[in-house]
Each structure stands twice: as C-alpha cells, then as structure tokens.
Amino acid sequence: MDAFKIFYTLLGGLGLFFFGMKLLSESLQLIAGDLIRKVINSLTSNRVLAVLVGVIVTMLIQSSSVTTVMVVGFVNAGLMSLTQAIGVIFGANIGTTVTGWIISIKIGKYGLLLIGLGIFPSLFARSDKLKNWGNVVMAIGLVFLGLETMSGAFKPLRNHQGFLDSISYFSSQDFSGYFASILTGCILTMIIQSSSGMLGITIALAASGVIQFPTAAALVLGENIGTTITALLASIGGNVNAKRAARAHAIFNILGVVALFSVLPYYINFIEWLIPELADFTLPDGTRPYVASHIAASHTVFNVTNTLLFLPFLRTLASLVVKITPDNNQGKEPHHLVLLGDPEDVLPATAIVQAHEETKKFKDIVDRLYRMTREFVLSEIPDAKLLNKIRNYERISDNIQKEVTVFLSIVMEKRLTHAQSVQTQSIIRIADELESVSDYLERLATYKVRFNQNFVLEGKMKEEFTEYMDNVWDFFQLACSGIYEGIIQNRKEIEHTSEKLRLWADDIRDHHIDRVSRGEYDSLSALTYSDMVVALRKVRAHSLNVAQAISSFREVEL
C-alpha cells in the first residue's frame, strides 16, 4: 500500500469513526433527553450523587467533553454550585471510559451488518423513538467500520522501517518514552478536541501492531489531559465560577496523570495481570487481538482510581481553584447573561434548562427595572441618575433577549424532539415579551421628561395612575409565576384579569379627559398621561403573552 493510499484510507476510517460517534451521541441525546433533564434536576450537594450524575449523563451521551461544557455552562447560569460541578466532572471522567469498552469489542467485521440493520428503521420507521434507535445501531456500525478501516491503513506501517524509526523514541519502554507519549496524546487530543477520537486512533494503532501496549497506555494518559481544553475554551467569557469549574477539571486530570506517571511501569504490569492474555500477543497476521481490552481497562482503572482518591478532597480542590481564580468583579452588575459554550456542543435538553434559568434571571432584572421606574415616575423632581440607570437596565434587557434568541436559534437547528422544539420556541417568546415589558417601562420614565418640563402626577390623577400601575405589576407577577417550577397557572384567572385591566385603562383615560375639559389640568398633561396609561396597558398585554408562552412550555413538559 503506497503512502497516498494509506493516507486516504486512514482519513476515511477516521471520518467514519467521528461521524459514527457524533450520530451515536446525538441519537442517544434524543432518546434520553428527558432522563438527562431529570438527572440534572436531582443534583444535591452530596458529592457521591454528583459523581453518579456525571457517570450517568456521560454514559448516555458518550462524550465527556459535552458533559464538562454543560457543567461549565450550568455553573455560569447559577444552576450548579462549584462543588457540585467538580463532582459531576469526576463522574464524567468515569462515564467516558464506557466508550473505550464499546470500541474494544471484537465485532469490527460486523460493522456493515449493523449499518444495514440500522438504516431501515432510521429511514422508514414512523415512530421517532424507533428512528433514533435505528440511528444508534447504525452509528455503532459506523464506529466499528471506521476502526476496522483505520486498522487496515495502519497495518503496512508496522513493517515500514522509516515509520518505525520515527516513532522509536515513543516506543522506548522508559520514562522518557512514556513522557513523550503522554505529551503527544495531550497535544493531539487538544487539536482534534475529542478524547474518544484519540482513543479510537490509539486502539487502531495498537490492534494493528504499530505500537505496543505501554505506549498506548501512556497515550491514553495524555488524552485525559488534552480533553480538558474543551471546558477551558468554553469558560472563556464566562463568570468566575465557570472558569473555576474548568480549571478544576484540568487540575484534577493533570495531578492524576502526574501521580500515576511515577509508577507507570508497575501500573502497566497491574493491567497485564488484571486482564486475561498478554496485551501484545500477536497473531500470525500481525494483529493483536487482546490489546484493545487492555487499553480500555487502563483507561477505566485510571479514571476510577483517580476519582476515588480525589473525592475526599473535593472541597479542598474547590478551595484551591477559588484561590487561584479570584473574583475581581464581585458586586458589579452584569451587563448581560452569558450563555456559555458553542451551541453546537450543547445538549438540547441541557440548553433548554440553562436558557430557562436565564429567563428567570431576566424576569428578576425586569422586576428591578419596575421598582426604579415607579420611583422615578411618581417623584415630583426627576432624578437624572435614576433615569440613566433605568435606560441602562433597558439596554441590558436588549442584550439578554438577543443572546437568548441567538443561542436557542442555533440549538433549534439540531435534531430536537417535538417537546424540545415547543419549549425552545416558548423560551424565545418569553425573552422577547420580557424585553418588550422593559421597553415600555423605560418609555414611562421618558414620557415624564420628554417636553423638557417636569410632568408631575398629582391629586386624583396620581391616585388613579398609582393604583393602576401597581395592579398591572401584580398581574405581571401572576402571569410570570409559572416560570418557576411547582407553580401551576390558572389560565382563566389570568385572562379575566387581563381583560379587566384593559377596560380599566380606557376608563382612566376617559376620566382624565373629563378633568381636562373642566379645566382642572392643561391639555398637554392629557397627552402625556394618556401615553403613560397606554404604556402600562402594553405591559399588561405583553404579560399575558408571557403567560401563554409559559403555558405552552409546561404543557409539553408533562
């Protein structure tokens, strides 16, 4: 086999493997989306439960990188504490070892059969669940076919003297060779951003006889360090706790590798003792039938042992990353909500949970904006600083609405279940309506100063307006109550109250026009007062829309 043929065979096998892993992860996410959401919601401060959550979620989605990016995003959104996040990351390191056992199964020659069995339900099944299971079977077939193709591409290299000379330094059974292998595994994993992909390449190299088991074991250790780059990149631009979670992941894996490196020869002998047959036993055709299970075992034993050793010191690790990552912005008002990570790498189920949490924060910001607007509108002397703060909060709400919409619009391009699609659209609508509420609150403040004179609410006019403004805001709280878990909205009550407030606004405007006609107030006050009442009526209308969007979100959740 010439060099070009080796190259394109390897590239094609790698492509099949990556596509299979991607399809497998996406299909499992669709099948287990609701379960993932329930598992996440069950998180407590118990470190063992947090580890179990990490194990379960990573086993379901077959990607520790996606799990850690999800964790960083949850910490940033305030859904998860730092200690919970570190516990889940510990579990993710264990859960990802399942991938090694899947790809170590000796059924590579049946890859085409699995693809054939999976394609029919994938294309022709009416049930979405059956289609997804068909995709899972087909994805596993693609993974095995990719590994088989890569192994075939590597086989000629085991007799190529130039190639053997180039990797001789990595193949030496001493600490310098181990270190070189660890460094290589780390760098390559950082480049391709997939520890599962590098694990597949490592197994293919070893199974085809190109490298020996000790070299493969050292490469796997480097892959454990390299995979932390994904979470570190995801934390860029996040809040301080997101950075701490990502750095805890890196420190945990690096310390584990450093500790094992000092006893690596003994560790390799232990794996040889633990798994039947010699790892480097070679068949007449040059292949090594047992090395894949040894590599998978070395991956599992390292991550399980590392987690058990560090688990008692979880809070110590949390304290360490707090010290090395100080909060330099403590007490400052955030100008926007950061939805972390590339939406392409976020699970739809967790993206919805995270974006939903952001809408709760958005609602709290609108609450603060209302209190400032009420104070400004009802005051006799306008406060310029308060007006600037109101306008700043309105700009913040614009940013939040834009971020939520852009983030979820990208998520909607993924394969979603019907329920996930409805919930995503509902959250986008909620964010849009909350932004509209903040717009009209800002307009209320602007109306007070728009004619370069102080418009003062007084007498009966002030009494009516204050009562109406407070009732509209009570209605806003009622309409938004369903955004919080465990609260069931009364749709009839909401619709009845909305209609009552709409008619009330017309009565208030009519009453004031009567007072103006009797000469109690000047005509300019009628225009300003009418616009302010209309703004509150618009707040009422958008509040009703929020309630309807929340209702749609909750209906498909059941």
In a domain, 430, yes or no: yes
| 550: containing domain | 343-555
Helices (H), 193-239: 195-207, 213-226, 228-234
Whether 326 maps to a domain, the answer reads no
Question: Which of 258, 286, 321 is at the close of a domain?
Answer: 321
State the pLDDT confidence band at 15, using cuts at 50, 70 and 90: confident
Q: How many domains does the chain have?
A: 2
Whether 462 is in a domain gets the answer: yes
Quickly state the pLDDT bin for 164 (edges 50, 70, 90): low
- Please say which residue of 290, 321, 352 terminates a domain: 321
Contact 74, 80 (CB under 8 A): yes
Domain assignment present for 216 = yes
Angstrom distances, CA of residue 356 to CA of 77, 162, 375: 10, 57, 30
Task: Give the number of other CB atoms < 10 A from CB of residue 44.
Answer: 11
> How far is 499 from 137, CA to CA, in rounded Å?
54
Residue 506 — φ and ψ, nearest 5°?
Answer: -65, -40
For residues 263 and 62, which has the higher predicted lDDT (pLDDT)?
Answer: 263
The pLDDT, as a whole number, for residue 334 is 45
> How many whole angstroms separate alpha carbon 29 and alpha carbon 35?
9
Average pLDDT over residues 421-433: 93
- Residue 415: which of 1, 23, 9 has the closest Cα? 23
Distance separating alpha carbons of residues 91 and 99, to the nearest angstrom:
14
The Cα-based distances of 515 to 58, 459, 463, 506, 510 in angstroms read: 68, 11, 14, 15, 9
- Most confident segment among 23-32, 40-49, 324-333: 23-32
The pLDDT value recorded for residue 426 is 93
For the stretch 239-279, pLDDT in tens is: 677 788 888 888 888 998 998 888 888 988 999 888 888 88
Cα–Cα dist 133/147, whole Å: 21
**Pair (253, 395) in one structural domain:** no
Residues 384 and 497 in one domain: yes
Helices (H), 327-458: 348-378, 384-411, 418-449
How much is the pLDDT for 336?
42
Residue 242: HSE in the Cβ half-sphere, 13 Å Cα cutoff: 24
Residue 209 and residue 352 in one domain: no
Q: Please check whether residue 337 lies inside any domain of the structure.
A: no
- pLDDT digits over 344-354, tens only? 666 777 788 88
Report whether 502 contacts 539 (CB < 8 A).
no
Find which of 31-40, 169-178, 407-416 is predicted with most confidence, using mean pLDDT. 407-416
Mean predicted confidence (pLDDT) in 176-194: 83
pLDDT at 335: 42
| Distance of alpha carbon 127 from alpha carbon 267, whole angstroms | 48
**335 assigned to some structural domain:** no
**Has residue 532 been placed in a domain?**
yes
pLDDT surpassing 90 at residue 205: no
Residue 44: pLDDT band by 50, 70, 90 thresholds?
low
Same domain, 293 and 371: no
**Are residue 497 and residue 534 in the same domain, yes or no?**
yes
387 and 310 together in one domain: no
Residues 524 and 403 in one domain: yes
Closest CA to 210 of 266, 275, 280, 265: 280
Q: 406 vs 403, 412, 416, 427, CA distance in Å?
A: 5, 10, 17, 12
Q: How far apart are CA 548 and CA 550, in angstroms?
A: 5
User: Do residues 489 and 364 share a domain?
Assistant: yes
Longest dimension (CA), the chain: 109
Same domain? 349 vs 306: no
Q: Residue 451 — pLDDT band, cuts 50, 70, 90?
A: low
- 551 exposed, middle or buried (CB, 10 Å; 0-12, 13-18, 19+)? middle
For residue 494, which amino acid is it? I
pLDDT at 319 over 70: yes
d(CA 185, CA 138): 29
DSSP 103-144: HTSS-GGGHHHHHHHHHHHHHH-SSHHHHHHHHHHHHHHHHH
Burial state string for 244-256 with b = 16 or more CB within 10 A and e = fewer than 16: bbbbbbbbbbeeb
Give the pLDDT score at 246: 83
Give the torsion through C-alpha atoms of 189, 193, 195, 201, to 10 deg: -60
Q: Tell whether 65 and 103 lie within a shared domain.
A: yes
pLDDT of residue 469: 92
Q: What pLDDT sits at residue 67?
A: 76
429 in any annotated domain: yes
Of 261, 290, 321, the residue that ends a domain is 321
> Based on the domain organization, do 208 and 115 belong to the same domain?
yes
Judge if pTM exceeds 0.85: no
Are 120 and 86 contained in the same domain? yes
Helix axes 47-61, 82-95, angle to 10 degrees: 50
Which tokens belong to 36?
A: 């993932």
Whole-number mean pLDDT of the chain? 81
